[in-house]
Structure 1
Amino acid sequence: MTSEQNKTFDLSASFKAYDVRGIVGESITSHIVESVGAAFVDTLGLAGETVLVGGDMRPSSPEFIKAFADGAARRGANVQLLDLISTDELYYACGALNAAGATFTASHNPAEYNGIKMSKAGAQPISSETGLKEIQALAEKYLNSGSIPAADVQGKISTRDVLKDYSEYLRSLVDLNGSRPLKIVVDAGNGMAGLTTPAVLGDQLLPALPFEIIPLYFELDGSFPNHPANPLEPENLRDLQAAVIEHGADIGLAFDGDADRCFVIDEKGEPVSPSAITGMVARREIARAQAAGEETPVIIHNLLTSRAVPELVATDGGRAVRTRVGHSFIKAVMAEEGAVFGGEHSAHFYFRDFWNADTGMLAAMHVLAALGEQDGPLSELGRQYEPYVSSGEINSEIEDKAGAIERVRADFDGEDVDVDTMDGSTFTAKDGSWWFNLRPSNTEPFLRLNAEAKDVATMEKVRDRVLALVRA
């Protein structure tokens, strides 16, 4: 018995809306994780069923994998240890094997963090609205009682490697054999893409593709010695941008720590926006679905994605559906609509053929296919999908966020502007020349601005006007 067991446990600091995340040794420990594993099995009724457990390269992941497995087996589940996996490998395994599972990762968070992403069978997401709160409550009960009761029939623990099956499955979805030769720099950020890239795009497990891969930071190291594994921050792309120029590469790919998000750099070292990637992949998925007889394929995009995306979808004969920001919303609407593909401004990309789950690697493969089937450079290809100018996300630290939004609303009142409140407040000029969204952060004193316009001057004028009102 540890000293931990002499206190009352409250796991609300680490249980978030969609996953568990905390500081190792403080809000997430092996003792806590064991109880979460037991609660996972009980809440989802998994006694006698298979539960898949893996983790990323963080130093605490092996210990946590074992603890979760022990808790799950104690409550009667048969656990298969997947060992080192990317988050989309978990989704693959949960989908292909029709089993529930969990992976230990804190995605792009710093080294002192770890966490748990959990999934139901078929890669269905678990959120606070679909079981996570119940798992938390039961885990707290076990922790506070000091023990996890043993099931009548305890489960067995075995191992399973899914990397080759995952790689073969992705290759079955996008044929890259006919691509022209491409030189690709991949920055794995010392994260899980260092394992998955050689397996999927290289010749480690499968026949070689017509690619030369130049690896950056492929060594799995959860201390992130080179830069944080968060490509959303521009400074974390600088090494990749420099390497693309240095090697004369055709494209650069950057993955986050658990490799479920992918960012793209063109041959000039310039980022290709996630909205442009969404458009590029949407075009390919619409064409593929139509070729299979689907009349009007559905594409999902969140409300911060460029207006170019729904315009392209309409032009190509698809139907675009706009959603709130956040993967639980996207996945739910993907399922409701039978959508073939979904994209977010944050570089999460979702595929019907991947159980509506997000996978950075599959999105990267679509981009490589689009680039490799034509002769032009990525900068020219990408420009077709970026007709507008975006401000990017700008945060303002504001205590009275509602008051700031009201100032903006009052200032634009009477102008030819539509306002909707699906997620924050989106203001759209009726002539289509610009739009912007103001969203309050749920966890920080930030008001987030995203603006887009037909040209730089208009975007800057709208951006500066809104920021002056917000920060008044």
Structure 2
Amino acid sequence: MTARIDPVTAGVLAGIVKAYDIRGICPEELSPTVARGIGYAFGEWSAAPQIVIARDMRPSGVSLAEAFADGAQAAGVDVIDIGLASTDLLYFASGHLGMPGAMLTASHNPASYNGIKLCGPGAAPVGAGSGLGEIAERAAQGASSPLGGGRLSRRDLLETFAGHVRSFVDVSGLSSLRVVADTANGMGGLVVPAVFDPLPFEWELMYGELDGTFPNHPADPIQPENLVDLSERVLSTGADVGLAFDGDADRVFLTDERGRAVSGSLLTALVAQAMLRRDGPGPILHNLICSRAVPEAIVEAGGRPVRTRVGHSFVKAEMARTGAVFGGEHSGHYYFAGNYRADSGLIAALIALEQLSAAQVPLSELLAPLDRYASSGEINTRVADVDEVLRRVGAHFARFAHDWLDGLTIDGGDWWFNLRPSNTEPLLRLNLEAPDSEVVGERVSEIRALLA
């Protein structure tokens, strides 16, 4: 039965509405009451007869999903609930069913958090500048007289999704690779077996139990400490490759047969070349903190690299504008035109395994031609005044080529860096690349002195 839709206070919304999604501590910031209000606002904003929703394995997701669905029904919208899902499964459902979608997840955040990722029909992005602000405004208004009348139904799309993921590769060309997948008690424990079970891999699942308290390690594979268990298992079993998924399983990172982490840039370059061989020359997207090896690899494979801002809404918009078949981000997001321009770590992983099967060499050897530069990794620094510090750094490096596409990017010839502000905190994020680690260290020290 539909409950009253109360306004969500501006203070609460200011704390949980981010650039790309909604995220906060439960229930202090994101409560069922707040979720109900956002569900109503999303249903009203979408003006669609139906929406599809899903949730991850966090304990708070049950009540939040129920409340969100209740709010959408109060707006007169029918809700199709596909239950437990990865975020890329929800995006697939949005594209497959042709309707807006909502995923209840906080991705890689700790267990105390939850959130809501929204999309339009066909997995179209909903973020800052593409509807999220208007939805927040509607949530703040509430509804004195909810329409009601929306119906709730349930549907299982897991096997349909798994078949869709496998359609991106030639299954007959896959070899019996030894694969270890660490899903960190996240939604990969549901979707990875559905995709991999029919394939010829000798594969093992680590931490596959769905447990939103994350009892083994955080579901954030971009942090090296969260790859330790996977690396050790790859080495102890003699596996060919390790796969590490985040909490909602839309991102993936790899380790090679030596247990060494593979950067998101290297996987972007590998998949980009595979897509160009399959689909022919054309534009391929990469965000501006990807290694220079990525655009170089794209050109070498006959493609045209297109540089974008960081973030899924920007990448998806550029894919639509350019007609690109693929786009990659250093953070482990990989976007496919054939996947409704949405990102999927599973698809990227499967394409990488297809390339490894064809090459018949160790992964480290396959990637060696693409591993060309030394990198600082992302260095976060808290500053008092983001804009003032950016101006100071820009002035210091004014003699070099630079742009402000997303923060400040300086091109020093054989080295470069990007310094951009966080969307949620008074932080500056530094990514720097150079020919070797010595130059990286020198330039990082120079920039850190300016940040102090």
Range of TM-score over shorter length: over 0.9
Rate the CA distance shift 1:246–1:122 in 2: closer, same or farther, 3 A. same
Query: Residue 42 of structure 1 corresponds to which residue in structure 2?
Result: 44
SS of 1:103's equivalent? strand
Query: Residue 132 of structure 2 corresponds to which residue in structure 1?
Result: 132
1:275 matched to 2:265? The reply is: yes
Query: Residue 205 of structure 1 corresponds to which residue in structure 2?
Result: none
Query: Residue 446 of structure 1 corresponds to which residue in structure 2?
Result: 427
TM-score of the pair, normalised by structure 1? 0.91
1:12 matched to 2:1? The reply is: no
**CA–CA distance in structure 2, aligned partners of residues 29 and 378 of structure 1:** 45
Query: Residue 387 of structure 1 corresponds to which residue in structure 2?
Result: 372
Which piece of structure 1 moves more, 452-461 or 360-369? 452-461
1:410 offset after TM fit, Å?
Answer: 4.1
Which piece of structure 1 moves more, 214-223 or 31-40? 31-40
1:218 matched to 2:208? The reply is: yes
Query: Residue 150 of structure 1 corresponds to which residue in structure 2?
Result: 147
**CA–CA distance in structure 2, aligned partners of residues 233 and 6 of structure 1:** 38
Query: Residue 249 of structure 2 corresponds to which residue in structure 1?
Result: 259
Which piece of structure 1 moves more, 59-68 or 5-14? 5-14
1:446 offset after TM fit, Å?
Answer: 2.1
SS of 2:130's equivalent? helix
1:419 matched to 2:402? The reply is: yes
**CA–CA distance in structure 2, aligned partners of residues 334 and 114 of structure 1:** 29
SS of 2:171's equivalent? coil
1:398 maps to a residue whose letter is V
Rate the CA distance shift 1:333–1:442 in 2: closer, same or farther, 3 A. same
Query: Residue 27 of structure 1 corresponds to which residue in structure 2?
Result: 29
1:361 to 346, 359, 362: 346
Q: Do 1:186 and 1:254's aligned partners in 2 also have CA atoms closer than 8 Å?
A: yes
1:290-301 residue pairs with structure 2 within 5 A? 290=280, 296-301=281-286
1:439 offset after TM fit, Å?
Answer: 1.6
**CA–CA distance in structure 2, aligned partners of residues 401 and 128 of structure 1:** 20
Rate the CA distance shift 1:212–1:149 in 2: closer, same or farther, 3 A. same
1:276 offset after TM fit, Å?
Answer: 0.5
Q: Do 2:290 and 2:329's aligned partners in 1 also have CA atoms closer than 8 Å?
A: yes
2:229 to 239, 245, 250: 239
Rate the CA distance shift 1:392–1:101 in 2: closer, same or farther, 3 A. same
1:176 matched to 2:171? The reply is: yes
**CA–CA distance in structure 2, aligned partners of residues 448 and 353 of structure 1:** 32
1:289 matched to 2:284? The reply is: no
1:339 offset after TM fit, Å?
Answer: 0.7
Rate the CA distance shift 1:8–1:448 in 2: closer, same or farther, 3 A. closer
SS of 2:24's equivalent? strand
Rate the CA distance shift 1:271–1:149 in 2: closer, same or farther, 3 A. same
1:24 offset after TM fit, Å?
Answer: 1.2
1:327 matched to 2:296? The reply is: no
**CA–CA distance in structure 2, aligned partners of residues 461 and 6 of structure 1:** 52
TM-score of the pair, normalised by structure 2? 0.95
1:40-189 residue pairs with structure 2 within 5 A? 40-46=42-48, 49-142=49-142, 147-151=144-148, 154-189=149-184
Identity %: 48
SS of 1:357's equivalent? coil
1:429-444 residue pairs with structure 2 within 5 A? 429=412, 432-444=413-425
Rate the CA distance shift 1:91–1:4 in 2: closer, same or farther, 3 A. closer
1:438 maps to a residue whose letter is L
Mark the runs of 5 or more structure 2 residues left unpaired by the alignment.
none
Which piece of structure 1 moves more, 179-188 or 435-444? 435-444
Rate the CA distance shift 1:442–1:53 in 2: closer, same or farther, 3 A. closer
1:57 offset after TM fit, Å?
Answer: 0.3
Query: Residue 293 of structure 1 corresponds to which residue in structure 2?
Result: none
Aligned residues: 450
Rate the CA distance shift 1:9–1:407 in 2: closer, same or farther, 3 A. closer
**CA–CA distance in structure 2, aligned partners of residues 118 and 440 of structure 1:** 23
Which piece of structure 1 moves more, 170-179 or 362-371? 170-179
Mark the runs of 5 or more structure 1 residues left unpaired by the alignment.
203-207, 291-295
SS of 1:57's equivalent? coil
**CA–CA distance in structure 2, aligned partners of residues 184 and 273 of structure 1:** 18
**CA–CA distance in structure 1, aligned partners of residues 130 and 391 of structure 2:** 34
